[in-house]
A and B are shown apart, each in its own frame.
Chain A
């Protein structure tokens, strides 16, 4: 079969590249989820009429989020090279892609988190306050559970964007399916490799979307 439809495919390479893509996506999604929720909570809680209302902090975080959300990812990777070298000590391999992936995705997700939190009925937060809840309790028992469907559908969108980012990171040496498609598929003109890499990425995206939709609908009791 290799000689027929896909003459240039080394399935061992494909599996390895897929694993690398899954690894990069997995770690960065988890880190983005945590970091994005933290940033989103701070954005929400420091906004007007909220428990930690603070214009300065809100302005700084908001500016940070907007700046990192606006830089095209491929440029962000380059900009972050010194930072990446300082913490990962290399520019090659999957781990080298992680700082840029997380810094690129977390601000984007933070905005989605903020939107999700804003959609919570103000009255529910007020009810919790009227029961004597401390802010920590309001965050853990009201804000996060009540916005969970939005948080999950938001991380689904972000995860899919991250799959795309890993492919871009691959082009400059981070490994994964993007790297394979570029080095093997494009530079050696092996179109079948590019095609297979594309199909696998599509499958990953479909699976992510399916899981995201399923979990969201299970969580939503409204």
Chain B
């Protein structure tokens, strides 16, 4: 559905060249929810804007839904853009138009007659759950409702691809979840390909099938979300994964524990898929002469399965601990000993 080959983008500002995107190769499948995560300035925003021609690559080619976006111009590009919709962090609704009129806008651009437009807009208002709000102005809506209007507007012309430019970054956690659920629902119902960029790993975990991690214009890691969660290769990816698996309180709890029990070890266990259901702790206590103390645990649901982390403190004879660690590793569970220092 989307193919980027050797895509680079260099911005020239007052004599200085800034490499925003650096030799990116990427291919996104039809019906996939693909996430790009990175900190601000990583080039993800430029990357997504090249997918609908708001930016043109300095080098390389961008093909989306069989349109060679990086080459076409004028009427061809405008036609292609009707198949590649976009939603935005700040919604970008027209304040001068009602909800109904905002959703109608892309249909006007596509040249649909008025009576057909009205019927289509009603359908879309129902699809995004804004029944009865058609005559409200954007200023009368909450952030979540505004993004629903943005989504309805983006879906108006039956696009093949939906681009989400930090679509939930301006929303509170609860509203974020409801918008994400709406996106998953749309993806399943309409078979729409969704590309989203974000700096929140939570968003990736919740709805994406695959994820690309961007750092200084490059894709440094790419794979199915669960794989990336299980085996983050890059330092930056580990940091993003920790956003979800390791709440702030964990660090404090570990420090506290280390002070209270200078003996023994704090261990991080990582469970993926079926292994989340094994009675590992019970087996540890039964088979080894150890004290086991649960510090903190969490199971997260992703689109391709569950993923859990558990922090435990074990105390006992050193060789007993070593044997226990070997045993855990055999259970297809990731083990990492956390240094107390």
Do chains A and B interact in one complex?
Answer: yes
Given A131-B81, A132-B79: A221 in contact with B137 (beta carbons within 8 A): yes
- Can you name the residue of chain B whose Cβ is closest to the Cβ of A130? B86
Given A132-B79, A132-B81, A145-B97: A127 in contact with B92 (beta carbons within 8 A): yes
Q: What DSSP secondary structure best describes chain B's contact surface?
A: mixed
Q: A137 at the A/B interface (Cβ < 8 Å)? A: yes
- Can you name the residue of chain B whose Cβ is closest to the Cβ of A142? B94
Q: What DSSP secondary structure best describes chain A's contact surface?
A: helix
Residues from 294 to 329 in B contacting A, C-beta threshold 8 Å: none
The complex places the Cα of A123 from the Cα of B166 at a distance, in Å, of 13
Q: Is the CB of A121 within 8 A of B92?
A: yes
The complex places the Cα of A222 from the Cα of B97 at a distance, in Å, of 10
Q: List A contacts of B94 (CB < 8 A).
A: 124, 142, 145-146
CB contact between A124 and one of B82, B92, B157 (< 8 Å): that residue: B92
Which of A121, A123, A131, A148 has the most chain B CB atoms inside 10 A of its CB? A131
The complex places the Cα of A129 from the Cα of B84 at a distance, in Å, of 11
Q: List A contacts of B56 (CB < 8 A).
A: none
Residues from 103 to 143 in B contacting A, C-beta threshold 8 Å: 105-106, 108-110, 137, 139
The interface size bin for chain A is 20 to 34
Q: Is the CB of A132 within 8 A of B96?
A: no
Q: A188 at the A/B interface (Cβ < 8 Å)? A: no
The complex places the Cα of A132 from the Cα of B106 at a distance, in Å, of 8
The complex places the Cα of A80 from the Cα of B94 at a distance, in Å, of 42
The interface size bin for chain B is 20 to 34
Q: Is the CB of A130 within 8 A of B52?
A: yes
Q: Is the CB of A130 within 8 A of B54?
A: yes
Q: Is the CB of A123 within 8 A of B88?
A: yes
Q: A126 at the A/B interface (Cβ < 8 Å)? A: yes
Q: A134 at the A/B interface (Cβ < 8 Å)? A: yes
Q: B93 at the A/B interface (Cβ < 8 Å)? A: yes
Q: Is the CB of B85 within 8 A of A137?
A: no
Total residue contacts A-B, CB cutoff 8 A = 64
Q: Is the CB of A134 within 8 A of B78?
A: yes
Q: A89 at the A/B interface (Cβ < 8 Å)? A: no
CB contact between A141 and one of B88, B93, B105 (< 8 Å): that residue: B105
The complex places the Cα of A124 from the Cα of B88 at a distance, in Å, of 10
The complex places the Cα of A148 from the Cα of B105 at a distance, in Å, of 18
Which of A127, A134, A145 has the most chain B CB atoms inside 10 A of its CB? A127
Q: Is the CB of A126 within 8 A of B54?
A: yes
Query: Would you give the shortest CB distance from B81 to chain A, in whole angstroms?
Result: 4
Q: List A contacts of B52 (CB < 8 A).
A: 130
Q: List A contacts of B288 (CB < 8 A).
A: none
Q: A35 at the A/B interface (Cβ < 8 Å)? A: no
CB contact between B106 and one of A123, A131, A146 (< 8 Å): that residue: A131
- Can you name the residue of chain A whose Cβ is closest to the Cβ of B75? A134
- Can you name the residue of chain B whose Cβ is closest to the Cβ of A131? B106
Query: Would you give the shortest CB distance from A221 to chain B, in whole angstroms?
Result: 4
The complex places the Cα of A19 from the Cα of B288 at a distance, in Å, of 105
Q: A139 at the A/B interface (Cβ < 8 Å)? A: no
Q: A14 at the A/B interface (Cβ < 8 Å)? A: no
Q: List B contacts of A128 (CB < 8 A).
A: 105, 109
Q: Is the CB of A222 within 8 A of B95?
A: yes
Q: Is the CB of A132 within 8 A of B90?
A: no
Identify 7 residue pairs between A and B in the complex whose beta-carbon atoms are under 8 Å apart, listed by A's number: A123-B90, A132-B78, A132-B81, A133-B78, A146-B96, A219-B96, A221-B139
Q: A127-B92, A130-B52 are in contact. List 20 more A-B contacts (CB 8 A).
A: A121-B90, A123-B90, A128-B105, A129-B54, A130-B86, A131-B82, A131-B85, A131-B105, A131-B109, A132-B78, A132-B79, A132-B80, A133-B78, A134-B78, A137-B109, A146-B96, A221-B95, A221-B96, A221-B139, A222-B139
